[in-house]
């Protein structure tokens, strides 16, 4: 049965760029055909002949206290600025709808600014490090400052991040979880990003000239924001509408970590899929805002792809990067704003600096000046390292095109895999729960070199970082710190990953690949040339590819021009999921959500939507963490974090117990495979569980006295999950929490569950499996889901290991021994360190 999609419109924009730091100045700069790419004094200190588009104007934040501004990085401040302007533009400031408004934040250079002084020999700003040193922190602060409570995701697909975020926002509104989503992309220019592209010889020797003259790109900095809203909501509010989003697609080349597939197959596929999802023909596209970086590899592949998809006629196209450079994660949303302020005025943006087209370019490039021409339906494309592709189709005239539809699917889990201290594979995981053996190991390290696998000498060279670690971490007089960790159990990587050169994989990629292989085996499927377009992945991350990040940053000190070229693409967060796609040949839907703790639950939710809306047949979803001890300890010291367990007692990690000493750090990867129920039944697959509903909400009380707390946000998420599942709380047979064993986090979760379910919670068995395998920051949510599925299969709920008594009355905490019980419906809940909350209901097949 076909389900009509909701019409999604854009009702607000915010922009901050080198051309202009607000919408009016930005628009005027565009209309003046003003290129602001110029010689860069900042980067010419380290390299020769550097060009970039810098924001040179002073940006004011009158709504924020000066001391708070000094503690935040530009990723956060710029994201807040454009988000605020977009909300103002959409007439939403002060509206109660902000309490349910979601956000999708696209970033790439997040968590970089507070580390830069180590490279330049200056003091590290410890308050800024504490606030913004984690990758997902900027999104948490932006949404809190703006008072948004509908939950957020951090989209980390490099140069497609904000375009991808637009697609995720489009999907989020389709399931009636919210009427409005704020999309933000924020990208200041930092030395590591510039150094990476420069050392790869990707930069132009002057302002870039996409598709013409000498090849090369120019980078720029800036931020942009858009408010997406259901058409019905916008009409009811009577607000102006910029455009309607008709559909989108995302995919992966599965070709190379830096180069696009040279024949443009990935770009061809994503444009074709976007047209299909929007239910519109290529002949309707009247303008294409292309990726157009100016490099030979990009422009050649993009030319080939456009000629394949639009073979019948030469569609006018242009690259906005010639105005203000390549804005990396913010490129998509900033270029979209450029379209929205010019196309309604019947003006098509040009490609500046255009001279003679290169020999392989036979496109209808709008060169150097605007064309006065009416455009309704247009396409926006962006591509990224790792082969991540995004294509978005929009119309200026709202409701001028038929609304698309989809076959709504029931979503089931037909494959599961993991690697952790319990072993590799689902059966090893279940055995680990049953045997309840301690799988942690004792660690001793010097504060100056906390992790032999990925030493952070470059951070501890800063005296104030080292001083904070000495002050806030319980090291002995010799500077030795003793604690326990859960490391991945030894396994034969070459046996599991046949044909893969595992020596080239950093731990996080190795673990993700191992989990992927065991998930595929569990699902009874193989990936080949005939079906590779049918498989996609959404991966949740927290600290991300920390080994590559450590190696990359360390190589910049003391000479940035000596940066390791091999580590730059591997240090990008999307390198893990796109790397898995490349190894396995998966060309379908692919994205990375770097939202922090329990990011795997966000990945599960998005993958569920992709299958529910019949966008992709098979989706892998979960999270992955490698041991990042050095950086983790720095962040614990910077924030004076007391939630980490530094005790030698192996039983001291006991979630929800009054005497819990906090969590034991862990590395792990866990994935499940989603597919439509009718597909699974048709191929005779074993169905482990069905997802019946989810909820997503976030705390907004950090800067707002009247904002919702973490517990209130979790309660909101739980109610949304139950509503979609059409369940009453009393029908649940089990609750599985994911709290990390600190009193503050445990109480936030328990109170949220009690608010969401009411007094009936006292009759529902409550468990949490983190103390079996440690707290793996992003993966723990998915690992706990595996524990729930084990309970459904075996009618046994394993206890909260080590815990004796619940610190809050009114809960049926499963302790000390397994409990026999038939589990038909279970609720999995979790939150990240900033109160971004998830709830997922699963049922027994």
Decide if 298 contacts 191 (C-beta within 8 A). Answer: no
Chain position carrying tokens 């294409």: 288
Per-residue burial over 555-578, b if 16 or more Cβ lie within 10 Å, else e, is bbbeebeebbeebbbbbbbbbbbb
Distance CA 422, CA 415 (A): 18
Complete edge-to-edge strand list for the sheet that includes strand 480-486: 441-446, 480-486, 665-666
**DSSP line for 418-457:** EEETTEESHHHHHHHHHH-----EEEEEETTB--SSS--H
**DSSP line for 677-727:** HHHHHHTTPPP-EEEEEEEEEE---SS-TTSPPHHHHHHHHHHHHHHHHT-
Confirm whether 326 is a catalytic residue.
Answer: yes
C-alpha 315: how far from chain center: 33
517: left (phi over 0), alpha (psi -120 to 50) or beta: alpha
Per the structure block, which two tokens stand in for 669? 């990867």
Distance CA 131, CA 154 (A): 16
Provide, for the chain, the percentages of residues in helix, strand and coil under a 3-state DSSP scheme, each rounded to the nearest 5. 40, 20, 40
Distance CA 513, CA 508 (A): 9
Decide if 563 contacts 199 (C-beta within 8 A). Answer: yes
Distance CA 843, CA 373 (A): 54
Decide if 207 contacts 37 (C-beta within 8 A). Answer: yes
Distance CA 374, CA 813 (A): 64
CA-wise closest residue to 293 among 420, 378, 182, 200: 200
Distance CA 465, CA 548 (A): 21
Per the structure block, which two tokens stand in for 365? 């490039």
List 54, 291, 506, 696, catalytic entry = 291
List 16, 50, 159, 445, catalytic entry = 159
Confirm whether 339 is a catalytic residue.
Answer: no
Confirm whether 636 is a catalytic residue.
Answer: no
List 326, 506, 597, 636, catalytic entry = 326
Distance CA 115, CA 789 (A): 41
Distance CA 391, CA 575 (A): 20
Distance CA 783, CA 416 (A): 10
Write out the E strands in 190-341.
Answer: 219-220, 222-230, 243-252, 287-289, 317-318
CA-based diameter of the chain, in Å?
A: 76
Distance CA 576, CA 413 (A): 22
Q: Which residues are catalytic?
A: 159, 291, 326
């Amino acid at each position: 049965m076909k389900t009509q999609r909701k019409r999604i419109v854009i009702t607000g924009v915010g922009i901050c760029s080198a051309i202009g730091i607000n919408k009016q100045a930005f628009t005027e700069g565009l209309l003046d055909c003003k290129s602001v790419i110029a010689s860069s004094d900042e980067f010419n200190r380290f390299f020769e002949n550097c060009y970039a588009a810098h924001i040179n104007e002073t940006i004011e934040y009158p709504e924020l206290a000066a001391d708070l501004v000094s503690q935040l990085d530009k990723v956060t401040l710029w994201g807040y600025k454009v988000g605020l302007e977009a909300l103002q533009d959409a007439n939403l400031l002060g509206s109660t709808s902000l309490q349910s408004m979601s956000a999708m934040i696209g970033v790439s250079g997040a968590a970089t600014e507070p580390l830069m002084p180590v490279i330049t020999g200056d003091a590290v700003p410890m308050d800024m490090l504490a606030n913004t040193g984690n990758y997902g922190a900027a999104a948490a602060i932006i949404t809190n400052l703006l008072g948004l409570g509908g939950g957020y995701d951090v989209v980390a697909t490099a140069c497609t991040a904000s375009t991808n975020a637009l697609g995720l926002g489009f999907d989020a509104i389709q399931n009636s979880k919210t009427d409005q989503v704020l999309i933000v992309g924020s990208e200041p220019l930092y030395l590591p990003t510039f150094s990476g592209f420069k050392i790869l010889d990707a930069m132009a020797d002057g302002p870039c000239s996409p598709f013409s003259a000498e090849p090369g790109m120019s980078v720029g900095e800036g931020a942009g924001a858009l408010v997406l809203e259901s058409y019905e909501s916008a009409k009811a509010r009577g607000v102006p509408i910029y455009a309607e989003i008709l559909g989108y697609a995302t995919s992966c080349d599965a070709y190379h970590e830096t180069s696009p597939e040279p024949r443009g197959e990935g770009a061809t596929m994503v444009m074709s899929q976007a047209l299909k999802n929007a239910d519109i023909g290529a002949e309707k596209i009247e303008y294409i805002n292309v990726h157009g970086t100016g490099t030979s590899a990009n422009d050649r592949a993009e030319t080939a792809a456009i000629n394949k998809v639009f073979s019948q006629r030469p569609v006018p196209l242009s690259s906005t990067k010639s105005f203000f450079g390549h804005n990396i994660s913010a490129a998509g949303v900033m270029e979209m704003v450029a379209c929205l302020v010019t196309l309604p005025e019947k003006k098509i943006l040009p490609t500046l600096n255009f001279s003679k087209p290169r020999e392989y370019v036979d496109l209808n490039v709008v060169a150097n000046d605007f064309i006065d021409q009416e455009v309704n339906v247009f396409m926006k494309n962006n591509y990224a390292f790792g082969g991540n592709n995004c294509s978005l189709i929009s119309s200026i005239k709202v409701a001028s095109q038929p609304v698309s539809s989809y076959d709504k699917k029931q979503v089931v889990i037909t494959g599961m895999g993991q690697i952790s201290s319990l072993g590799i594979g689902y059966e090893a995981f279940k055995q680990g729960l049953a045997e309840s053996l301690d799988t942690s190991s004792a660690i001793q390290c010097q504060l100056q070199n906390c992790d032999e696998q990925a030493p952070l000498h470059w951070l501890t060279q800063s005296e104030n970082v080292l001083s904070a670690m000495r002050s806030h971490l319980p090291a002995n007089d010799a500077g030795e710190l003793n604690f326990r960790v859960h490391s991945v159990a030894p396994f034969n990587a070459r046996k599991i990953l046949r044909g893969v050169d595992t020596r080239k994989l950093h731990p996080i990629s190795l673990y993700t690949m191992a989990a992927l292989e065991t998930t595929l085996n569990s699902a009874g499927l193989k990936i080949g040339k005939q079906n590779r377009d049918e498989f996609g992945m959404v991966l949740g991350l927290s600290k991300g590819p920390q080994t590559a990040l450590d190696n990359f940053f360390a190589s910049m000190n003391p000479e940035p021009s000596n940066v390791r070229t091999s580590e730059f693409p591997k240090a990008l967060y999307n390198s893990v999921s796109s790397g898995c796609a490349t190894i396995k040949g998966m060309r379908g839907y692919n994205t990375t959500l770097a939202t922090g703790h329990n990011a795997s639950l966000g990945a599960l939710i998005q993958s569920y939507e992709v299958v529910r809306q019949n966008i992709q047949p098979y989706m892998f979803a979960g999270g992955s963490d490698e041991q990042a001890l050095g950086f983790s300890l720095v962040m614990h010291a910077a924030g004076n974090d007391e939630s980490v367990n530094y005790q030698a007692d192996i039983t001291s990690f006991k979630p929800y117990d009054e005497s819990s000493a906090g969590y034991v750090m862990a590395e792990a990867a866990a994935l499940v495979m989603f597919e439509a129920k009718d597909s699974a039944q048709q191929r005779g697959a074993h169905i482990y569980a069905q997802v019946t509903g989810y909820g997503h909400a976030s705390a907004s009380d950090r800067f707002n006295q009247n904002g919702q707390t973490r517990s209130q946000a979790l309660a909101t998420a739980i109610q949304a999950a139950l509503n979609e599942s059409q369940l009453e709380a009393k029908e649940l047979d089990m609750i599985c929490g994911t709290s990390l064993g600190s009193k503050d986090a445990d109480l936030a979760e328990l109170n949220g569950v009690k608010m969401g379910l009411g007094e009936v919670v006292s009759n529902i068995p409550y468990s949490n499996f983190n103390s079996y395998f440690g707290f793996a920051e992003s993966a723990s949510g998915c690992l706990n889901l595996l524990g729930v599925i084990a309970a459904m299969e075996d009618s046994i709920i394993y206890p909260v290991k080590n815990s004796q008594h619940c610190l809050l009355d009114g809960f049926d905490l499963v302790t000390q021994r397994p409990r026999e019980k038939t589990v038909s419906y279970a609720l999995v809940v979790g939150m990240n360190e900033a109160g971004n909350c998830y709830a997922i209901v699963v049922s027994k097949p």
